[in-house]
């Protein structure tokens, strides 16, 4: 039983004797330590069994009413029931009803599945529990090393600084914030947006929704965002972008940043990054690339040409918990000009003064590259994975995911009942059951999901609903896509039959 | 060895056969699964040994040059060296040089130490790896349950919604963003800050540095922040606040939000929350409380009177990885009016459309309460801890930390060589070596730290440097404070002796 416990007196080698009355959340005695450790070993076996057995489980299952009620109505636990009982609740009420993205046939949205080694690293990180604002400790050096590796893998130059983030939204927000600060033409941090010219940011209709949320949060509003159209391949229309910039300058706006995308969420398309980089250089605009998943394709020599120009970004955002296969949360932002990066966020507070010796040496290097002060040790799982499994292993899986997407696209094309809804430039396949309307294709999607067969998601392309497979899954096999293709056809027939039973 | 591996053919119960050529980041064979699991058990023992032995280790130690170089110069690991070798590097280069906040004599800044049970929960959370935007899965219900428990423990009413965050900075940012949106008087998300009246936010000189960073990021600039003075107890001066609001209204500003603090970072002081709540109600301003650590004192009946009024907050930010003793990262924001909370962040994106059945049922409830879309399962460690150990255990430790702070203050007062630098309203003790100047007190601090005796931090109060003990440590005992007091006196004499060797 692990409640708040008294420290024990015996066997302590430290110079400090313990007062019996004082409490701790650690186990209090050798026996209690051994008990919790034993439970820990059973938890580790339990979660390993779960991961090892994933392919034999449904991709999703509905939460039973009694579980829903247990998780909805329990009052605040004032006194503890012990760790064993809590773990039993977890095994009964939580683990079986997971959100599915760990499963080999999950391709919904863009969600990585995690790995057992990264999970163990998360355990070690949580146990060490370093405070990652910066300061003088090995975890800080680990994060710096991971960031240097990322800069090199993404083709960014020495002098690039970075920060691991909760994910793509935050990484993108930080990149945009640095760009806004660097290009505003006045002291934005001091004066705020009421001062100076109104600022303009450019994205496309395919830019992920983080950008609107960032414009809101940053006070520029949707009005500060110019949404540029796309060509038939869903790439940003550059003549429209150029015209918009000219028009805005003439109207008294100050263009500050173009947000390009490497791997759009809808179709996996990449904007013409070389051309946008050229345009930004000419127009002295900040070139931000949202490469949430697509940036990872840069690691592959064969896929790199499609996202060429990304390495010219002033700031680049991407996730390691998407196509880097890491468990949540770990994204990253890289900023080409480290000085500008720091200038956008560094502050001074008397309780945070750096010293030149001891634990505070080196200052708050990470807090000065982003908004957050307290940060966890997200770097460890990336560091352990790269050291243990190697960047090449990840690159091979990225290529495998693209091959699998092409394979699935070929299954769609080979089936008279299915049709592609867009080209397949990378790892995203949008498709439909031919002849079914939007509601019927949605129904096919929901049945695939609720039967636990597979989890694609859906989107709207040119006004029409499409099923969407976004493959960032290191557990998927070609055969999993065979299962999906067959199931879509089967359920498609079922749905069409229900709609027109006499046909 | 755990590199990218071939799936094995034998023993798979699933309906899908595997192609030998395809890879995964999971172990590929039963044998490899067993090997990694075995390593996992050794990792678990290693980190348990580390946690169990903390009190017999120095609170901090300098990183040796060869370790620094190993962590600074290794090129990108293209091919993996296996999980065993990566773990050996971790044991050799990372674990021994931790940032210190797990140690029983760490009271620097405000950093919780984590617990072994929460660490195990982080392992389970990482293995499950649910995507916490919302949707229909048990982890979503776990986070909702934790948020309900938090609202109840903080005295907030039914209808309150919340979100677990990376920490206090993000929780505060979100609360302020909801308040700004609710009180701007125009559609800020659409129009941005150029539209409407200029907005004003109020804090005090003691408000944590997150507020300036938030004003920057939100585009309001430091110019949009009115910094109000404090009384001799470091509480916000309310007549000055009232005058500032009147003055700003007269000058054409629109006051939107007062940021009050429950437990200031410098001295642990709490503003007069009842009076500020009254003022905000009168003036129709958003009442935001930054209770990063102080809010947790609300759980204690004996400590609650000092922070009375906090439960009237429109938004409340606090950390569970500070005085809730959880490992990083887990903070929380609670918003009294759930509708306003959602209105500040909800968006629509075609690839994120909710369905009424299957895994997407319920929509993106959490993504619609904050900026981030992807979020990890931070809730599990809180849920497991409350169920296993109980809220009362945490409350008792909070009370214990306050008693320990008072005890240490009494040691300071009892020593002719030491002096308090501020009152001790809660768990923060600011003090000096009497007669030493700022540089000498800083030197005492650094020697305490670099010798690994204890980790207080420092701050500046009324222009003078002070050592600062912020006690949110569930591993500390009274005896640890005896060690600190004795060491400060010893090192103080040493430093003074060096300054005036003949005295």
Digitized pLDDT (tens) for each residue of chain A, 503 residues in all:
334 444 333 333 333 334 558 999 999 999 999 999 999 999 999 999 999 999 999 999 999 999 999 999 999 999 999 999 999 999 999 999 999 999 999 999 999 999 999 999 999 999 999 999 999 999 999 999 999 999 999 999 999 999 999 999 999 999 999 999 999 999 999 999 999 999 999 999 999 999 999 999 999 999 999 999 999 999 999 999 999 999 999 999 999 999 999 999 999 999 999 999 999 999 999 999 999 999 999 999 999 999 999 999 999 999 999 999 999 999 999 999 999 999 999 986 555 566 788 998 888 999 999 999 999 999 999 999 999 999 999 999 999 999 999 999 999 999 999 999 999 999 999 999 999 999 999 999 999 999 999 999 999 998 999 999 999 999 999 999 999 999 999 999 999 999 887 75
Residue B238: other Cβ atoms inside 10 A: 16
Taking only the tens place, the pLDDT of each residue in B283-322 is: 999 999 999 999 999 999 999 999 999 999 999 999 999 9
Residues of A in contact with B40 (CB under 8 A): 44, 48, 116, 120
Nearest to B81 by CA among A385, A179, A435: A385
Taking only the tens place, the pLDDT of each residue in B427-486 is: 999 999 999 999 999 999 999 999 999 999 999 998 999 999 999 999 999 999 999 999
Structure tokens at A176: 């945009």
* Beta carbons of B408 and B484 less than 8 angstroms apart: yes
Distance CA B8, CA B18 (A): 7
Residues of B in contact with A265 (CB under 8 A): 351
Cα of A114 to nearest chain B Cα, Å: 7
Chain position carrying tokens 């067959």: A486
pLDDT of A356: 80
Cβ distance of A479 and B101 shorter than 8 Å: no
Per-residue CA distances from B291 to B191, B322, B390, B403, B457 (Å): 31, 11, 21, 20, 20
Structure tokens at B151: 């609202």
Task: Tell me the pLDDT band of B362, cut-offs 50, 70 and 90.
Answer: confident
Chain position carrying tokens 């678990």: B44
Q: Please state, for a pLDDT cut of 90, what percent of chain B lies above it.
A: 91
Cβ distance of B350 and A144 shorter than 8 Å: no
The partner residue sitting opposite B357, judged by closest CB among A12, A387, A446, is A446
Residues of B in contact with A468 (CB under 8 A): 351
Phi, psi of B18 (to 5 degrees): -115, 140
* Beta carbons of B118 and B326 less than 8 angstroms apart: yes
Cβ distance of A167 and B45 shorter than 8 Å: no
Phi, psi of B237 (to 5 degrees): -80, 110
- Portion 226-245 of A in contact with B at CB < 8 A: none
* CB within 8 Å of B238: residues ≥ 6 apart: B272, B275, B276, B279
Structure tokens at A261: 């995308």
Asked if the C-beta of B439 comes within 8 angstroms of chain A's C-beta atoms, the answer is: no
Helix (H) or strand (E) holding A147: helix A138-153
Q: Tell me the CATH class for B130-389.
A: alpha beta
Distance CA B269, CA B430 (A): 12
- Give the start-to-end residue ranges of the domains of chain B: 5-12+29-98, 130-389, 392-499
Nearest residue in B to A357, CA atom:
B446
The partner residue sitting opposite B387, judged by closest CB among A80, A95, A381, is A80
Cβ distance of B44 and A41 shorter than 8 Å: yes
Asked if the C-beta of A438 comes within 8 angstroms of chain B's C-beta atoms, the answer is: no
Distance CA B304, CA B166 (A): 26
At B309 the three-state DSSP class reads: coil
Distance CA A35, CA A45 (A): 15
pLDDT of B500: 86
pLDDT of B356: 80
Asked if the C-beta of A209 comes within 8 angstroms of chain B's C-beta atoms, the answer is: yes
* Beta carbons of B454 and B487 less than 8 angstroms apart: yes
**Cα A213 versus chain centre, distance:** 16
In angstroms, how far apart are the furthest CA atoms of chain A?
A: 86
Taking only the tens place, the pLDDT of each residue in B379-392 is: 999 999 999 999 99
Which CATH number is A130-347+369-389 given? 3.40.640.10
* DSSP secondary structure letters along A208-229: -THHHHHHHHTT-TGGGEEEE-
Nearest residue in B to A168, CA atom:
B374
Task: Determine which of B60, B69, B131 to mutate to test the interface with A (most A C-beta atoms within 10 Å).
Answer: B131
Asked if the C-beta of B462 comes within 8 angstroms of chain A's C-beta atoms, the answer is: no
Helix (H) or strand (E) holding A96: none
* Beta carbons of A454 and A483 less than 8 angstroms apart: yes
Distance CA A244, CA A229 (A): 11
Distance CA B197, CA B283 (A): 16
Asked if the C-beta of A396 comes within 8 angstroms of chain B's C-beta atoms, the answer is: yes
Listed in order, strand segments (DSSP E) in A79-204 are 161-165, 199-204
R_g (Cα) of chain B, nearest Å: 26
Nearest residue in A to B458, CA atom:
A351
The partner residue sitting opposite A129, judged by closest CB among B3, B114, B385, is B114
Cβ distance of B83 and A388 shorter than 8 Å: yes
Cβ distance of B47 and A111 shorter than 8 Å: no
Sign of CA pseudo-dihedral B17, B21, B27, B28: positive
Q: What number of C-beta contacts closer than 8 Å exist between A and B?
A: 642
pLDDT of B405: 98
Distance CA B485, CA B488 (A): 5
* Beta carbons of B66 and A371 less than 8 angstroms apart: no
B20-29, B106-115, B494-503: segment of lowest average pLDDT: B494-503
DSSP letter assigned to residue B449: H
Q: For chain A, what percentages of helix, strand and coil (3-state, to nearest 5) are there? A: 45, 15, 40
The partner residue sitting opposite B47, judged by closest CB among A72, A124, A210, is A124
pLDDT of A353: 61
Cβ distance of A394 and B94 shorter than 8 Å: no
Can the peptide bond before residue A329 be classed as cis, meaning omega within 30 degrees of 0? Answer: yes
Any idea which fold B392-499 has?
3.90.1150
Is the whole model's pTM more than 0.80, yes or no? yes
pLDDT of B353: 61
Cβ distance of A349 and B380 shorter than 8 Å: no
Taking only the tens place, the pLDDT of each residue in B249-280 is: 999 999 999 999 999 999 999 999 999 999 99
The partner residue sitting opposite A373, judged by closest CB among B169, B189, B358, is B169
Helical pair B138-153 and A65-73, crossing angle rounded to 10 deg: 20
The partner residue sitting opposite A47, judged by closest CB among B72, B114, B123, is B123
* Beta carbons of B259 and B214 less than 8 angstroms apart: no
* Beta carbons of A161 and B191 less than 8 angstroms apart: no
């Amino acid at each position: 039983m692990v409640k708040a416990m008294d420290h024990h007196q015996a066997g302590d080698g430290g110079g400090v004797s313990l007062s019996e009355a004082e409490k701790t959340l650690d186990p209090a005695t050798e026996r209690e330590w051994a008990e919790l450790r034993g439970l820990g070993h059973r938890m580790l076996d339990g979660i390993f069994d779960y991961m090892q057995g994933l392919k034999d489980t449904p991709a999703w299952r509905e939460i039973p009413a009694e579980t829903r009620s247990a998780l909805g109505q329990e009052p605040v636990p004032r006194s503890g029931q012990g760790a064993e009982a809590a773990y039993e609740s977890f095994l009964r009420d939580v683990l079986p009803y997971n959100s599915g993205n760990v499963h080999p046939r999950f391709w919904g949205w863009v969600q990585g599945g995690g790995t057992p080694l990264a999970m163990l690293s998360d355990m070690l990180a949580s146990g060490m529990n370093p405070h990652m604002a910066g300061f003088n400790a090995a975890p800080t050096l680990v994060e710096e090393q991971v960031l240097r590796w990322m800069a090199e893998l993404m083709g960014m130059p020495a002098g690039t600084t970075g920060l691991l983030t909760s994910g793509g939204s935050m990484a993108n927000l930080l990149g945009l914030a640095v760009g806004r600060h660097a290009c505003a033409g006045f002291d934005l941090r001091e004066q705020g947006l009421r001062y100076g010219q109104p600022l303009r940011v450019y994205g496309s209709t395919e830019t992920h929704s983080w950008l609107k949320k960032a414009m809101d949060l940053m006070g520029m509003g949707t009005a500060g965002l110019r949404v540029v159209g796309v060509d038939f391949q869903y790439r940003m229309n550059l003549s429209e972008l150029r015209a918009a910039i000219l028009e805005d300058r003439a109207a008294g706006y100050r263009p500050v940043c173009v947000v390009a995308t490497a791997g759009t969420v809808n179709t996996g398309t990449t904007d013409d990054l070389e051309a946008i980089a050229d345009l930004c250089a000419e127009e002295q605009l900040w070139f931000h690339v949202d490469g949430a998943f697509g940036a990872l394709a840069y690691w592959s020599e064969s896929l790199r040409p499609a996202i060429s120009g990304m390495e010219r970004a002033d700031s680049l955002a991407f996730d390691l918990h998407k196509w880097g296969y890491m468990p949540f949360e770990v994204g990253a932002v890289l900023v080409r000009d480290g000085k500008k990066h720091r200038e956008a966020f560094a502050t001074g507070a008397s309780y945070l003064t750096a010293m030149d010796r001891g634990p505070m040496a080196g200052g708050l290097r990470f807090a000065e590259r982003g908004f957050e002060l307290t940060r966890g040790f997200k770097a460890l799982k990336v560091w352990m994975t790269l050291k243990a499994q190697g960047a090449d292993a990840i690159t091979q899986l990225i290529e495998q995911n693209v091959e699998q997407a092409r394979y699935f696209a070929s299954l769609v094309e080979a089936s008279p009942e299915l049709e592609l809804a867009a080209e397949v430039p990378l790892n995203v396949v949008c498709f439909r059951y031919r002849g079914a309307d939007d509601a019927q294709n949605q129904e096919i999607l929901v049945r695939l999901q609720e039967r636990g067969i597979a989890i694609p998601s859906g989107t709207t392309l040119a006004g029409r609903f499409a099923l969407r497979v976004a493959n960032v899954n290191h557990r998927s096999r070609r055969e999993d896509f065979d299962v999906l293709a067959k199931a879509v056809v089967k359920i498609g027939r079922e749905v069409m039959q229900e709609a027109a039973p006499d046909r």
